[in-house]
Each structure stands twice: as C-alpha cells, then as structure tokens.
Structure 1
Amino acid sequence: MSSPLRPPLKPMLAKPAKAIPDSGGLLFEPKWDGFRCLVFRDGDELTLQSRSEKPLNRYFPEVVARLSKSLPERIVLDGELVIARDGKLDFDALTERIHPAESRVKLLSEQNPAEFVAFDLLALGDESFLEDPTSERRARLEALNVEGVHLTPATTDPETARSWFELFEGAGLDGVIGKPLAEPYAPGKRVLLKYKHKRTADCVLAGLRWHVDGEPGELVGSFLLGLHDADGLLHHVGVVGSFPVTRRRELAEELAPLITDGADHPWLGDAVQEGQRVPGGITRWKSKEQPWVPLALDRVVEVAYEHTEGGAPARFRHTSQFVRWRPDREVASCGYAQLAEVARYDLDAVFRGEVVRTR
C-alpha cells in the first residue's frame, strides 16, 4: 500500500501579523530561516519538495541519505531545511547549494551539512492527518521521535512566545509562527500567522532602476540603497521597490535632476574597490547584469527592514519598505553602525529543544 499523500503538495502558508496576542488558541513555534521543505517517504522512494513544489534531492544528498535510514517506511513531514555555521543559521550557505555542478554540491554537503527541522506531521502509514486539528498533529509529531530529525520547539503560552521572539533571533531565527490549534492543515492557504522583526535604517539613495512597464524616465521601479562602512566606503545594501503606479511616475519626475553620468559615482568604474558591494552583478539567481541609473548622492531615505545577511558588509535580506525621506540627515552619516546588533543565542539549545516553556 502506498502513502496516502504524494508529491507535489502545496504547503500551508503564513500571513503577516502585527503582535503576538494575549488570547489563547494558538500554537507558537520559532520561525526557522531556511528552505521550506516537505518530506515524502514511501518505501525506497524519498522526496524533498520545496515550497514551489520542486524537488530538492540533488541539492541536499546528505539529508536524503540520513532521512532514508531513519524515517518510517511511509510518512509525510512538513518542515525546514537549515544550515548552521558558527552557532547561527546561515541562509547564504543554503543558497550556495542551488548549484548546477554535482561536485560542488557534494563538497558543500560535506563541509556544511544541512539539517531538517520538522514542525508538522501530515501522514504516517496509510493515514492522512490533513483534516486533523493542529493540536492533534503536534501530539503525533512529538510521539514520533525519529533520529536525524529536529523537532521544532512549541508552546501555547504567549509570554514564552514573546521571549522566543527576542531570544532566538540571536541564533539566526526569523521570528515566531502562530498556528490555530483547532484548524486542519490547509495546503496552499495562508492560515498561519507570522510575527517578524521590523527595524528601520537611514540609507543613501544612490541609484534607481526603471519599471519594466514603462519607458526609461517614465516610472521608477526601485531605489538602490547604500550604507557606509567604518572606512567610509559606500556599499549597496538593498532596494526599495513597492510603490503605487502614480507614485512611480511622480518619483521619476522628482528624481530626474539627480541623474548623473556616473563619472564620480562610488559604484562605477575605477572608484569600485575590492570587497565593495555594488549593484548590477551576475548572481546564481540572475544570469545577466541588471541595468541601473546612478544618482547624485544627495538624498537620505528611511526604510524598514526585517534583518540582514551576508556577513560584513551585510545587506538587507528582503526588499525593504519606504518609510519617509530624511532631509535632516547627511549622506555621510548613513552607516552600518546604526543597524541593530542582536545578542547571540545558543542554536544547539534550540535544536535540542532545551528552551524555556511555561506550559
């Protein structure tokens, strides 16, 4: 008899929420900063499925090998693939795995093996648990006790969840997830609640890209943001790209006087220094250079961001959000020193479940 659930299966998703509530009815878990992964084991067949329903097996051979040995014959788990480096989760190390060369993937899997963190049990044997409430699925998951699989901590206490929200960021985690205790698993639906860290920073507006739906000079697509390091070198730190169409048109007119030929721009030509982050390069996600327009370094913009990645110099992990212009700030004052430093927390303790929970 085959497993009752087969890939592909859309994972249940989360929607943003402002604050962890005092009321009950939620199971809180850490929000792991990795690749969402559904694991399907059916006899000798094991599949790692991404959030976008694509197979991940070739990129994480060590996880396939480990789970093939330890999991029950027929099981479906929902969870996260993560990599720990220097006591913190390292998202960059995960993205390095998405590489076309098998030899490169093999080397990285040996140097920095990935771990699987389970936070839901969707099927076991010939039973599907999709219609069961979160509380019952969690109880079954806790009873599973499989070697090689980390069980995510969980609590129903809002105060404990708030402490996790602050503490676990120091281990590289990404906030807290709230799961309605009485709800079934809803593939593809945004039933979960996510509580993520929000911060602001004052950045140099150093360039822009035109929007794909307009002609050059007509609609602003995104801002290119910069921050100075301790030596005064300006690094590309991220983008702001969410504006209404009318505002994109207004910005195109407003920023036109700042457009330069780039002769003295710190991100172009001979001005670029070794180790400096600059925009437009080819990456594993972009196969060609991304054109951009240099601006005179005259404006400061305050943006909201969740957290950073990439070591030193760091960059914003996701697209940041426009907050306001800061005409009171000097461009030279926009540096990395303003970014929040997070106290370190023992990631191994989170893996082992050795965290405070009050109920």
Structure 2
Amino acid sequence: MTPVRPRARAAEVPGLRRPVAPMLAAPVDAVPEGPGLVHEPKWDGWRAIAFRDTDGVYLQSRAGRNLTTYFPDITRAIRVAIPPGVVLDGELIVWERGRTNFAQLQRRVTAGRALPRLARECPAHYVVFDLLADAGGQVILGLPLSQRRARLEQLLADAPGQLTLTPQTSDMRQVTDWLVNWTVAAGIEGVVSKRSAGRYEPGRRGWAKFRTRIVTEAIVGGVTGTISSPETVLLGRFDRRGRLRYTGRTHPLTTIQAVELAGLLAPPRLPRRGAVAHPWPEPLPASWSGQLERPEPLRYVQVEPSVVAEIDADVAFEHGRWRHRVRYAKGRPDMSVHDVPLLLGEGEDPFGTPSP
C-alpha cells in the first residue's frame, strides 16, 4: 500500500505522538482459559489507530502508514462524536449483506475519484477495542484494560453506528458461540484474548489470537521450485462450469512433505488440438495474489491438475481465494479431483460441497 500524505497536517493535541506501534497478539493453538482473561472477536479488517487532533482526525495503519484519505466517512464520524485528544485502537471493516467484506477495504485504495461514491454505497465501520489516550490527550496506557474499557464504553455511549465498541466476554460459552456461528455468519477470523489487568504495551505481543481454521481439500495446479523439489503449492478448485480456478498458495513445504508430493506430481499432458495445456497463465499475474504492496508476477511450474491436497486454512476466503497462505497437510492419492468441493459463488459455503 502506498502511503498517502495529507495536504495539511492536523494540529496534534499534547499526549501520544504518532506513529504509535500498536499492541499485538501472538498466535495460539487454542483459546486460553483462566481467571482474569477476557475475549473479543478477531475482526477481518484493517487495524487502525485513530488520533482525534485539535482540528481533525488522523488514521494510522498497523505499519504506521496514513489511511486518513481513504476513510472520509470514518474521520467525519470521529470528528463529530469524539473530543480532541482521544486516541483509539480498533479495526476498520466494511459490512456487506451482514458479513465483513475485506475486498471493499482494498477498493478504497484504488478508488481515486470514485472514493466519495464508494464511501456512500459501502460505508466503513470502525470497531473500537481500546483507548490509548483520553480527552485532552491524557495518556492512559498504564491503566489496566478493565479501566480503559470502562472509559471507552462511556466515550462511545452516544457515538454514531459507524463507531462501534467491540463485544467482550469472559464466558467461554459466548466464545464458543462466536467461533461456531459468527465465523460463517459475520466473517470474524477468530478470537483475541487479553488480561483484564493488563496495560497497553505498544509493539509488544502481549495478547493471544486464535484463528478459526478448517481442514479441506484443493487441487494442485502448480508449484514453485521444481516438480522434483517443490517449495510451495498453488491450489485450485473447479467452478460449476468445470474450469480450474486458482484459489491460493501454501506456506513452504517441509522436506518430508516436498518428497511425498514430488512422487505424485507430473507435468501437464499434451493438449488436444484447440485446447490449452494448462488453465492458468505463467507467470501467475500479480493481481491474483491480492497483495497491495509491491505485487509481482509469480514464476511457477505448471503440473497436471490430477493431485488432491489436504490443507489447513483459515476462514479468510473471499472472491474465490484464500487471502492468507494455507498449510499443506498431505497428498490424497485416494481421492479424485472430482471429490474436491466446488468453487462456489459469493455467499455460498466454500468448504463442504463436492463436485458431481
């Protein structure tokens, strides 16, 4: 993402100086339990720290970049409802048909002159989960989370709907409901766990995050490296028309996985007259990766799409692709490519429908 410099720098209130490194969460394999822990949904959006300055609002990304220009709807809501000096931490999201839509966030960056129309048609929301500085610029990083949360609740009591306080619970039954029902219905990625007595420590991984994951299958369409020594795997699924569509890429394989997969792979067969040898271009277009920063075409080796891979993926599946890399588990020589779930349309479950 290319940083955008504002035309005029808003006057800052004495207090926290930007950029501020946000507090982070370390990945865990299970939601931690115990006294003094609270849990919040992990939203599928862009992390943003919001500075309410004397004469405006500044939105900072997790990496310290300026997001202000892309979210005039959010800056307007903060300017109206939040007093100068306040610094908020939260997630920028866009709702579409009751579910978060990450692609609509990405469209903000490339919208250009269409940005005002896009903001009207697909308004963003700022889901707030922490308060770093109170009115007047009073820095409260050292207060326990429970006290910061109480002040945040009071601050957002009369805020417009676009500024939302994230749910928080210590009840594991509520956490289970989020993971079972909200993951599919609302598009959350998992749960973030925090200590209610914990202070806010910029840049430190002092929280824990559990991502909801699924085990499913995909078709191997290509590899980086070589067929005899694959490094990562390019995956696909058939759509309803029988076309193999690219759906994502794996993390690097282990040595054992690479040897096992190499024994299953073969180069593409020679095509019939008038047909193509492989349904994907080589190199893979940069736009297919969904990355915004320094996108480059991906060189890879095409293979005969006859091998099924079992994979472990998170639930960030959008527009027919996994946004994050998936984990390769093993090859499934016992399965046909026609046993793999079809690539379905928007709003349909991408995980459980085998092809006919």
2:318 is the alignment partner of 1:307: no
2-side partners of 1:37 and 1:322: how far apart?
31
How do residues 336-347 of structure 1 correspond to structure 2 at under 5 angstroms?
336=342, 339-340=350-351
Counterpart residue identity of residue 117, structure 2: L
How do residues 268-283 of structure 1 correspond to structure 2 at under 5 angstroms?
269=276, 272=279, 280-283=284-287
Residue 123 and residue 206 in structure 1: after superposition, are their counterparts in 2 closer, same or farther (change >3 A)? Answer: same
Q: TM-score, normalised by structure 1?
A: 0.82
Q: Which moved more, 1:183-192 or 1:145-154?
A: 145-154
2-side partners of 1:131 and 1:76: how far apart?
14
What root-mean-square deviation, in Å, do the aligned CA atoms of Structure 1 and Structure 2 show? 2.8
Q: Is the 8 A contact 2:311 2:326 kept in 1?
A: yes
Counterpart residue identity of residue 177, structure 2: S
2:142 is the alignment partner of 1:131: yes
Counterpart residue identity of residue 187, structure 2: G
Q: Number of residue pairs matched?
A: 325
Q: TM-score, normalised by structure 2?
A: 0.82
Q: What is residue 147 of structure 1 aligned with on the other side?
A: 159
Residue 141 and residue 308 in structure 1: after superposition, are their counterparts in 2 closer, same or farther (change >3 A)? Answer: closer
Structure 2 counterpart of 1:316, from 316, 322, 343: 322
Structure 1 counterpart of 2:337, from 318, 331, 338: 331
Counterpart residue identity of residue 17, structure 1: V
Q: Is the 8 A contact 1:9 1:53 kept in 2?
A: yes
2:301 is the alignment partner of 1:293: yes
Counterpart residue identity of residue 114, structure 1: A
1-side partners of 2:296 and 2:271: how far apart?
23
Q: Give the secondary structure class of the aligned counterpart of 1:3.
A: coil
Deviation at 1:225, TM superposition (A): 0.6
Counterpart residue identity of residue 290, structure 1: L
2-side partners of 1:137 and 1:328: how far apart?
54
How do residues 253-268 of structure 1 correspond to structure 2 at under 5 angstroms?
254=263, 258-260=266-268, 263=271
Structure 1, unpaired ranges of 5+? 211-215, 342-359
Q: Is the 8 A contact 1:71 1:146 kept in 2?
A: no
Q: Is the 8 A contact 2:73 2:119 kept in 1?
A: yes
Q: Give the secondary structure class of the aligned counterpart of 1:98.
A: helix
Q: Is the 8 A contact 2:268 2:277 kept in 1?
A: no
Structure 2, unpaired ranges of 5+? 1-11, 344-348
1-side partners of 2:35 and 2:328: how far apart?
34
1-side partners of 2:125 and 2:269: how far apart?
48
Q: Give the secondary structure class of the aligned counterpart of 1:137.
A: helix
Q: Is the 8 A contact 1:33 1:173 kept in 2?
A: yes
Q: What is residue 125 of structure 2 aligned with on the other side?
A: 115
2:176 is the alignment partner of 1:162: yes
1-side partners of 2:350 and 2:258: how far apart?
31
Identity of aligned residues (%): 31
Deviation at 1:89, TM superposition (A): 0.9
Deviations 1:199-251 (A, max 9, x none): 111111110123xxxxx67853321111122333221111112234x458747
Q: Is the 8 A contact 2:271 2:277 kept in 1?
A: no
Residue 278 and residue 29 in structure 1: after superposition, are their counterparts in 2 closer, same or farther (change >3 A)? Answer: farther
Counterpart residue identity of residue 328, structure 1: D
Q: Is the 8 A contact 1:30 1:177 kept in 2?
A: yes
Deviation at 1:130, TM superposition (A): 0.8
Q: Is the 8 A contact 1:27 1:180 kept in 2?
A: yes
Q: Which moved more, 1:88-97 or 1:276-285?
A: 276-285
Residue 227 and residue 308 in structure 1: after superposition, are their counterparts in 2 closer, same or farther (change >3 A)? Answer: farther
Residue 157 and residue 287 in structure 1: after superposition, are their counterparts in 2 closer, same or farther (change >3 A)? Answer: closer
Q: Greater relative contact order (Cα 8 A, min sep 6): structure 1 or 2?
A: 1
Q: Is the 8 A contact 1:78 1:119 kept in 2?
A: yes
Q: What is residue 357 of structure 1 aligned with on the other side?
A: none
Q: What is residue 41 of structure 2 aligned with on the other side?
A: 30
